[in-house]
Chain A
């Protein structure tokens, strides 16, 4: 998240670039250069739109041409059949793009990664034959000789530069707003670790849909203006692979996920391609494609994430990191309320069962955790402990049984909803947002319980204080030690003040001194009023920590009760050590 002065600097930068483009357009003498400049700006807008979903959110789309094409055809068909001026239809394209984004997002967001990208590929290519079939193989926007200006037809090509520039400034401003808002943080979290974001209370589906709709709206508007500039549309021109590829190439080349990446990409690659066409087109046909391809490969080998990030890295390497204004933990106003035991257990599981194919991973699990309790779940490897957490947390829906939290049913709810109800979670393998700072990681977790961003920040600081990690607030999460990572994840889970936290093997991989530290933190959490349910292996530590054990083996509950009783239970020993040991223990006892 940017600070206020940083945001302002970016706004000035946008204004400066806009002024520079205007100046350039006044200086250029030829209509051809103005046309190329217009195209640079339009492609920049398209790429900015792409960047919102794909650069910020990490959901790569190979099919953004579908929005571009729908926008272009909307404007063209509206003008041809309804005599509607582009001044009206181009803004309307935003609606078209957003609606298309919603329709496409509904089914497609069930996929991730490569599948999502390839599914997106299918949409524009499916549209292509449809438009051919409908008879729109060649559409020419009618020339309006009398009322030209009314229909956005100008003799002076610079007007189009101004229009496209206006669009670009709007798109940049939107991107800037996204970057600085909770929206942007959520997208970044989704990009870096979606399950963690979901478990931290981020409604990932909603944000993804919004991102796609916004992305589609921007691309469609750009497509609409493109139709006005190009005047002739064929399905291949606006729905073709090259359009989707161009949106991608510009953003990836310039710097994916950055504000300026698409701009850099557009300003370098579009004129380059056009220049190559112009110079080499008829000398050695095809050479321009070869040169363009080579240029792309060379740049990507030197700067795999784009020019912007590479340049930034270079600059930052020479700069000393500015001592940031220390994130002084503001006096922690008691955000913690004493938890009254309102009678009845906090978390109740009844008959929980789940199967994966033929494997019965959990069977007839009953559990009742009272408020303020510190309960442990133990069992040998593969017993189903993490699976149980996944069920409680909402990542898996149980085949049988119910789960109730604070008297309300939570079975079948999505993880972010469950987080909202007041259940926090850490993971067996720490799921950090590796490129964000520790503080930002925790702020993501605070959103679900904070009315605004300032409150979120304060809650995050408080949580870091609780776990004793305040001193590392500004460190980038990717560089932390195991202990620090676990504390950070703990802080993230605690930030929204949950009533219950699920700790999955928090002590794993820690050395002796680290262990004591974390145990102390966990005890303090309970003292502060939060109920804790913890999965662990390390018997020794657990026995002195928890009030109660539940023992799982092969998905079934084999024992529960006070720690000292459970460790002596025959079934438990057998489960952990096998029959031979039980006999040996029995033998030595005799």
Chain B
């Protein structure tokens, strides 16, 4: 299949821009997966909540109307983060904490089974609850940025996606700094690496997990808010992204925020650039093939560490 340089550059830039949103989603998931070793099936649904939060902030009651059609959606995306953070906090406090961390250390598989079912149940509740509350009509945030582009030579860069790229990078960098350089952040990482030791060191592991969970869903929600002005969404949208998120996180390496970011970016690039060579219909298959290849050739991902001491 032949393609021109322009085709290639266009696909590559599209991949990077789309991938930046994936990257931020993966960062959110990576925090949870890395800190709690929990496979959170509901992550996509928190993404969806972020989309709706951003939507209502932008359109409802003219709250953000004074920021204009350009600024409104961006600020709304940012604000979606704390809102979903709060929701996540409550969810963890009352449900998730009972099946993860110290609440589950005694049961077989450290409560792995309970976690999976709980997050699956959570996913069902969020999706269908959203259907009841928001209705089934697909919506999107209207923004003039989604249909304008900047031109670099012959390559067009979608403005909306460029802005979300910038926001994603800023937020991811902030998270990275937070985790690496603040007391709270370091406590999180300690709890992730070895929760028992962390307890002995006086770190409240449950609190750390709650923070990780809420932060994780909040970050993913911001990504959702960003995507919401480019694509339409409905209560079941989360489904489409869960796999992409997991592929990105595993690709990047367990426990590495940087890895999660790059993993998500790479997924985006693969998704768009694969259309140059493979049938467009097999876009997502290509993602999985790359995912499987990386897992087999380098199971610790790009930035992760191999563990398992004998």
Q: Which of A220-228, A246-254, A347-355 contacts B (4 or more CB under 8 A)?
A: A246-254
- Chain B residues near A386: list those with CB within 8 A: 310
Q: Kindly provide the distance from the CB of B140 to the nearest chain A CB, expressed in whole angstroms.
A: 21
Q: Kindly provide the distance from the CB of A406 to the nearest chain B CB, expressed in whole angstroms.
A: 24
- Chain A residues near B283: list those with CB within 8 A: 129
- Chain A residues near B281: list those with CB within 8 A: 129, 132-133
Q: Which of B108, B116, B128 contacts A289 (CB 8 A)?
A: B128
The complex places the Cα of A24 from the Cα of B102 at a distance, in Å, of 44
Contact indicator A435/B108 (Cβ below 8 Å): yes
Q: Kindly provide the distance from the CB of B108 to the nearest chain A CB, expressed in whole angstroms.
A: 6
Q: Which of A108, A284, A293, A304 contacts B124 (CB 8 A)?
A: A293
- Chain A residues near B118: list those with CB within 8 A: 296-297, 300-301
Contact indicator A129/B136 (Cβ below 8 Å): no
Most buried by A among B113, B247, B295: B113
Query: With an 8 A cutoff between CB atoms, is B112 at the interface?
Result: yes
Q: Which of B20-28, B177-185, B286-294 contacts A (4 or more CB under 8 A)?
A: B286-294
- Chain B residues near A289: list those with CB within 8 A: 124-125, 127-128, 131
Contact indicator B123/A130 (Cβ below 8 Å): no
Q: Which residues 76-122 in A have Cβ within 8 Å of B in the complex?
A: 107-108, 110-112, 114-115, 117-119, 121-122
Contact indicator B243/A293 (Cβ below 8 Å): no
Query: With an 8 A cutoff between CB atoms, is B279 at the interface?
Result: yes
Contact indicator A107/B296 (Cβ below 8 Å): yes
Most buried by B among A62, A110, A119, A288: A119
The complex places the Cα of A60 from the Cα of B296 at a distance, in Å, of 17
The complex places the Cα of A252 from the Cα of B62 at a distance, in Å, of 47
Q: Kindly provide the distance from the CB of A239 to the nearest chain B CB, expressed in whole angstroms.
A: 11
- Chain B residues near A293: list those with CB within 8 A: 120-125, 128
Q: Majority SS of interface residues in chain A?
A: helix
Q: Kindly provide the distance from the CB of B64 to the nearest chain A CB, expressed in whole angstroms.
A: 28
Q: Which residue of A lies closest to B104 (CB)?
A: A304
Query: With an 8 A cutoff between CB atoms, is A427 at the interface?
Result: yes
The complex places the Cα of A285 from the Cα of B136 at a distance, in Å, of 9
Query: With an 8 A cutoff between CB atoms, is B202 at the interface?
Result: no
Q: Which residue of A lies closest to B134 (CB)?
A: A286
Contact indicator B113/A122 (Cβ below 8 Å): no
The complex places the Cα of A241 from the Cα of B118 at a distance, in Å, of 16
Q: Majority SS of interface residues in chain B?
A: helix
Contact indicator A122/B122 (Cβ below 8 Å): no
Q: Kindly provide the distance from the CB of A177 to the nearest chain B CB, expressed in whole angstroms.
A: 23
Interface string of B238-251 (1 = CB under 8 A from A): 01001100110010
Contact indicator B295/A111 (Cβ below 8 Å): yes
Contact indicator A285/B132 (Cβ below 8 Å): yes
**Given A286-B128, A305-B108, are A121 and B120 neighbors across the interface (CB < 8 Å)?**
no
Q: Which of A107, A287, A300 contacts B121 (CB 8 A)?
A: A300
Query: With an 8 A cutoff between CB atoms, is B129 at the interface?
Result: yes
Q: Which residues 257-297 in A have Cβ within 8 Å of B in the complex?
A: 284-290, 292-297
Q: Kindly provide the distance from the CB of B16 to the nearest chain A CB, expressed in whole angstroms.
A: 23
Contact indicator A119/B295 (Cβ below 8 Å): yes
**Given A122-B288, A125-B284, A130-B282, are A304 and B246 neighbors across the interface (CB < 8 Å)?**
no
Query: With an 8 A cutoff between CB atoms, is B285 at the interface?
Result: yes
- Chain A residues near B104: list those with CB within 8 A: 304
Q: Kindly provide the distance from the CB of B295 to the nearest chain A CB, expressed in whole angstroms.
A: 5
Most buried by B among A108, A195, A252, A290: A290
The complex places the Cα of A248 from the Cα of B281 at a distance, in Å, of 29
Contact indicator B124/A115 (Cβ below 8 Å): no
Query: With an 8 A cutoff between CB atoms, is A422 at the interface?
Result: no
Interface string of B219-240 (1 = CB under 8 A from A): 0000000000000000100010
The complex places the Cα of A353 from the Cα of B37 at a distance, in Å, of 34
Contact indicator A114/B39 (Cβ below 8 Å): yes
- Chain B residues near A301: list those with CB within 8 A: 95, 98-99, 114, 118
Query: With an 8 A cutoff between CB atoms, is A372 at the interface?
Result: no
Contact indicator B292/A300 (Cβ below 8 Å): no
The complex places the Cα of A285 from the Cα of B235 at a distance, in Å, of 12
Contact indicator B284/A300 (Cβ below 8 Å): no
Query: With an 8 A cutoff between CB atoms, is B308 at the interface?
Result: yes
- Chain A residues near B125: list those with CB within 8 A: 289-290, 293-294, 297
Q: Which residues 336-392 in A have Cβ within 8 Å of B in the complex?
A: 386, 390
Contact indicator A129/B116 (Cβ below 8 Å): no
Contact indicator B288/A297 (Cβ below 8 Å): no
Interface string of B119-160 (1 = CB under 8 A from A): 011111101111110001000000000000000000000000
- Chain B residues near A111: list those with CB within 8 A: 295-296, 299
Contact indicator B289/A287 (Cβ below 8 Å): no
- Chain A residues near B284: list those with CB within 8 A: 125-126, 128-129
Query: With an 8 A cutoff between CB atoms, is B194 at the interface?
Result: no
- Chain B residues near A286: list those with CB within 8 A: 127-132, 235
- Chain B residues near A117: list those with CB within 8 A: 39
Query: With an 8 A cutoff between CB atoms, is A534 at the interface?
Result: no
The complex places the Cα of A62 from the Cα of B115 at a distance, in Å, of 14
Query: With an 8 A cutoff between CB atoms, is A256 at the interface?
Result: yes
Q: Kindly provide the distance from the CB of A72 to the nearest chain B CB, expressed in whole angstroms.
A: 19
- Chain B residues near A216: list those with CB within 8 A: none
Contact indicator B243/A125 (Cβ below 8 Å): yes
Contact indicator B285/A129 (Cβ below 8 Å): yes
Contact indicator A252/B132 (Cβ below 8 Å): no
Query: With an 8 A cutoff between CB atoms, is A395 at the interface?
Result: yes
**Given A121-B243, A253-B117, A287-B132, are A297 and B122 neighbors across the interface (CB < 8 Å)?**
yes
- Chain B residues near A256: list those with CB within 8 A: 113
Query: With an 8 A cutoff between CB atoms, is B60 at the interface?
Result: no
Contact indicator B282/A129 (Cβ below 8 Å): yes
Contact indicator A245/B120 (Cβ below 8 Å): yes
- Chain B residues near A127: list those with CB within 8 A: 285
Query: With an 8 A cutoff between CB atoms, is A555 at the interface?
Result: no
- Chain B residues near A390: list those with CB within 8 A: 310
- Chain A residues near B295: list those with CB within 8 A: 111, 115, 118-119
Q: Kindly provide the distance from the CB of A437 to the nearest chain B CB, expressed in whole angstroms.
A: 16
**Given A60-B112, A129-B283, are A284 and B98 neighbors across the interface (CB < 8 Å)?**
no
Contact indicator A125/B288 (Cβ below 8 Å): yes
- Chain A residues near B107: list those with CB within 8 A: 304-305
The complex places the Cα of A161 from the Cα of B295 at a distance, in Å, of 41
Q: Which residue of B lies closest to A111 (CB)?
A: B299
- Chain A residues near B299: list those with CB within 8 A: 110-111, 115
- Chain B residues near A288: list those with CB within 8 A: 128
- Chain B residues near A563: list those with CB within 8 A: none
Contact indicator B116/A122 (Cβ below 8 Å): no
The complex places the Cα of A132 from the Cα of B282 at a distance, in Å, of 9
Q: Kindly provide the distance from the CB of A265 to the nearest chain B CB, expressed in whole angstroms.
A: 10
Query: With an 8 A cutoff between CB atoms, is A184 at the interface?
Result: no
Q: Which residues 485-511 in A have Cβ within 8 Å of B in the complex?
A: none
Contact indicator A296/B124 (Cβ below 8 Å): yes
Query: With an 8 A cutoff between CB atoms, is A306 at the interface?
Result: yes
Report which B residues bind A (CB closer than 8 A): 33, 37, 39, 41, 95, 98-99, 104, 107-109, 111-114, 116-118, 120-125, 127-132, 136, 235, 239, 242-243, 246-247, 250, 254, 279, 281-285, 288-289, 291-292, 295-296, 299, 308, 310
Q: List 11 A-B contacts (CB under 8 A).
A: A110-B299, A119-B292, A125-B243, A130-B282, A133-B281, A245-B41, A285-B131, A286-B128, A289-B127, A293-B121, A395-B310
> What 3 pairs between A and B have smallest CB-CB spacing?
A289-B128, A293-B124, A286-B131
